[in-house]
Structure 1
Amino acid sequence: MAKRVQLLVGTNKGIFIYSSTVERKSWSLQGPFLPGWEAYSVLGATRFGTKLYAGTSHAAYGATIRVSSNGGETWEQITDSPSYKEESGFSLNRIWQLVQGPASEPETLFAGVEEAGLFVSRDSGQTWKELDGLTKHPSRPEWFPGAGGMCLHTIIMDPGNSKRMWVGISAVGVFRTLDGGLSWKPCNNGLNRIPTGQPDESVGYCVHKMVLDPENADVLYMQEHSGVFKSIDGGDSWLPIEEGLTLREGDMPFGFPIAISQTGDLFLIPLESSELRSMRDGKLLVYRMARGEHSWKPIGDVLPEEERHVSVLRDAMTVDALEPYGLYFGTTSGEVFCSLDRGENWEQLPGQLSRILTVKTMIMED
């Protein structure tokens, strides 16, 4: 049975889908689907039939989850989408992340939202329940938003332990559960706290994105507001891994996305600074730390003949599960790029989209 690769691209004006064979030499583009809607999260789920899920939001109509069973041609709005009870005092502004649950629970999905909270569905996304052990955490009164809002943007499952998972919240920090979401522990030791003015030092950390090592579920990597970090104890402590990222005086290891391949290669796209949030000197430059190495190297000048004063957002960089793997990212100016040689060389995919918020991959079988 032939396989096909799809890139699911969420923008602030709908969803676009790129398709290719496993050789990934030529790409077709479809969309926009759900035009006019922000799509901060897109998920291609294949465990219970091929379905596409999207976390959409609109200034006039609010946030909701939509699902398509026919490749995006038509979408159903989930009536019982994640929502807070009125007495909670929280508003649900966006759905930042959608992920599948453990392999042993094929119909389970999780949704991370803004204002920060975590919801679970046990019936393929038709109904949702708040995991209020997180929103009722004792530190909750001191949670503080980042520039993009107080969003739960990262959800990581331990593939070997269905009860253990991590979430990343801006600008609050990392939380870990060992009991499937009933209780949560802040895991921010070693990170650089931002000046929120709140006294609880267990929170107040601006996590931008976090990934799990594919070979060791105690090892996590993070792009944080003030640097790049690694944990080797499941998040109990963090150490900086920034060698090679500050190449000029005054440069900071600031950026949003971090991605990891199935072989353990890490990728970053550093920006000028927290204030400017644009490419250093206009160079669209990708950095890699290969498995077994201890420093970052600039390995892919994506458009060496052109300047690109753009950004790449936290969820707009990803890696597929093929061999050799494909590495992809989308920019705030709507360009999508692909590398098939570990970030050394890049191809720009067809089309100029709107502001890209998320990029995900899905492997299809025809």
Structure 2
Amino acid sequence: MSPQDTAPTLFVATRKGAWIFHGDPARQRWEADGPHFLGHIINHLVLDPRDGRTLLAAAKTGHLGPTIFRSADLGAHWQEAARPPAFAAAADGSGRSVDHTFWLTPGHADEADTWYAGTAPQGLFRSDDGGDTWTPFSCINDDADYRRWMGSFQDGTPDGPKLHSILVDPRDPKHLYFAMSGGGVHESVDGGATFTPRLEGLEVVEGFDATDPSFHDPHCVRMCPSDPDRLYQQNHCGIYRLDRPATRWQRIGRNMPAEVGDIGFPLVVHPRDADRVWVFPMDGGTVWPRTSPDGRPAAFHTRDGGETWVRQDAGLPARQAWWTVKRQAMCSDAHDPLGLYFGTTSGELWGSHDEGESWHCIARHLPEIYAVSTGVPT
């Protein structure tokens, strides 16, 4: 069955619960299912592409604290994880506590029940039973260097420092990346036994040491589905591209319009064309208002790996729209032409079925949207 014959589904995580939007194959009509977990903070809601039925939700609840919920039937029924991500306690009972799970990534296609999770404060966890039990993964949670690198953003990130952008190479389950805000981008080629910082070429805030991972703040890192040797990054200090085996990131965001800049959070890569990318800039001025520049929101699209960028705002508010888009809240489907979707900090869900040439509002008046992902249920 081709993507044209399938109906995409949107999985929307918000500050007050989660919603599932079922679309028709033409992506013209959407039916809302929800809310799920009304009142709970849902940071990420992800469909397992390996079975098309399993959903994982990263939740922060008022009475259960940080936890993971799992559904084997597309959200009809949910069960809490028997052992959610938690840091190992020291011998004297001290140690860090997970504030919330921030990021969920399904494992490699050949590892049917494997999932990875990134937490706030920064921690990396893995489940090998479909998300029911979680254990610390690799050595980084308690490694002295990583603990030092994690320390610089304890009070600087609005909802806490976090580990995110967990990437699994589709060619090799032992080839992994993750990013930390703060703490930089890191790569493993041995299944997580060791990780190496990948910081060359990345800029930091003026006056700080760019060789120290502590001062690096990647916002979102994406691997190209059509070329896993190419990575894109939306950073606190610009938009970058990395073409392996090279190790130096190139700042492609300098080609963005100067009045807009290249600061933002989300980044989407075309699933079939590694040269095509979308970003959603925000105002990165001196006081970091975290709004759309000049109250005029727009996506920007490149067809040539970041050499040139085109503004795409048809259908979006032309003025006085001061929302922005969080790092997990923009995604695409696999149709041709590509469908793009994003959720806003003011609770609007937007979509485009013509690769960003025009936008329409799918839903309004939701809580603040933290994440939007897509999938095709089976």
Range class of TM-score, shorter chain: over 0.9
Where does residue 97 of structure 2 map in the other structure? 91
Whole-angstrom CA distance in 2 between matches of 1:209 and 1:293: 16
Question: What RMSD, in angstroms, separates the aligned Cα atoms of the two structures?
Answer: 2.1
For 2:215, give the aligned amino acid. Answer: G
For 2:157, give the aligned amino acid. Answer: A
From 259, 262, 265, the equivalent of 2:271 is 262
The answer for unaligned runs of 5 or more in structure 1 is none
Whole-angstrom CA distance in 1 between matches of 2:234 and 2:306: 18
After superposition, residues 103-118 of structure 1 pair within 5 angstroms as: 103-118=109-124
Where does residue 183 of structure 1 map in the other structure? 194
After superposition, residues 61-80 of structure 1 pair within 5 angstroms as: 61-80=64-83
Name the CA shift for 1:55/1:113 in 2 (closer, same or farther; >3 Å).
Answer: same
Whole-angstrom CA distance in 2 between matches of 1:12 and 1:196: 35
From 136, 147, 152, the equivalent of 2:142 is 136
Does the Cα contact within 8 Å between 1:218 and 1:235 map onto a contact in 2?
Answer: no
Residue identity over aligned pairs, in percent, reads: 29
After superposing the two structures, state which structure 1 stretch, 18-27 or 188-197, moved more: 188-197
Where does residue 289 of structure 2 map in the other structure? 276
Deviation of 1:38 (Å): 0.6
Whole-angstrom CA distance in 1 between matches of 2:64 and 2:32: 28
Residue 360 (structure 2) pairs with residue 347 (structure 1): yes
Deviations 1:95-124 (A, max 9, x none): 111111111111111111111111111111
Does the Cα contact within 8 Å between 1:3 and 1:364 map onto a contact in 2?
Answer: no
Deviation of 1:341 (Å): 1.1
Deviations 1:292-328 (A, max 9, x none): 6611111234424453111100100001122222100
Deviations 1:227-257 (A, max 9, x none): 1111112572211002442332xx5321111
After superposing the two structures, state which structure 1 stretch, 221-230 or 234-243, moved more: 234-243
Does the Cα contact within 8 Å between 2:277 and 2:305 map onto a contact in 1?
Answer: no
For 1:142, give the aligned amino acid. Answer: W
Deviation of 1:263 (Å): 2.7
Where does residue 31 of structure 1 map in the other structure? 34
Whole-angstrom CA distance in 2 between matches of 1:356 and 1:194: 28
Whole-angstrom CA distance in 2 between matches of 1:197 and 1:282: 31
Whole-angstrom CA distance in 2 between matches of 1:74 and 1:315: 24
Name the CA shift for 1:71/1:216 in 2 (closer, same or farther; >3 Å).
Answer: closer
Whole-angstrom CA distance in 2 between matches of 1:196 and 1:98: 34
After superposition, residues 112-261 of structure 1 pair within 5 angstroms as: 112-140=118-146, 141-143=148-150, 144-145=152-153, 146-148=156-158, 149-194=160-205, 201-233=212-244, 236-248=247-259, 251-261=260-270
Aligned residue pairs total 363
Name the CA shift for 1:17/1:190 in 2 (closer, same or farther; >3 Å).
Answer: same
For 2:121, give the aligned amino acid. Answer: E
Name the CA shift for 1:139/1:198 in 2 (closer, same or farther; >3 Å).
Answer: farther
Whole-angstrom CA distance in 2 between matches of 1:147 and 1:45: 29
Does the Cα contact within 8 Å between 1:139 and 1:200 map onto a contact in 2?
Answer: no
After superposition, residues 43-82 of structure 1 pair within 5 angstroms as: 43-48=46-51, 50-82=53-85
After superposing the two structures, state which structure 1 stretch, 350-359 or 294-303, moved more: 294-303
Does the Cα contact within 8 Å between 2:15 and 2:42 map onto a contact in 1?
Answer: yes
Does the Cα contact within 8 Å between 2:149 and 2:213 map onto a contact in 1?
Answer: no
Whole-angstrom CA distance in 1 between matches of 2:119 and 2:245: 23
For 2:13, give the aligned amino acid. Answer: G
The answer for unaligned runs of 5 or more in structure 2 is none
TM-score (norm 2): 0.90
Name the CA shift for 1:290/1:75 in 2 (closer, same or farther; >3 Å).
Answer: same
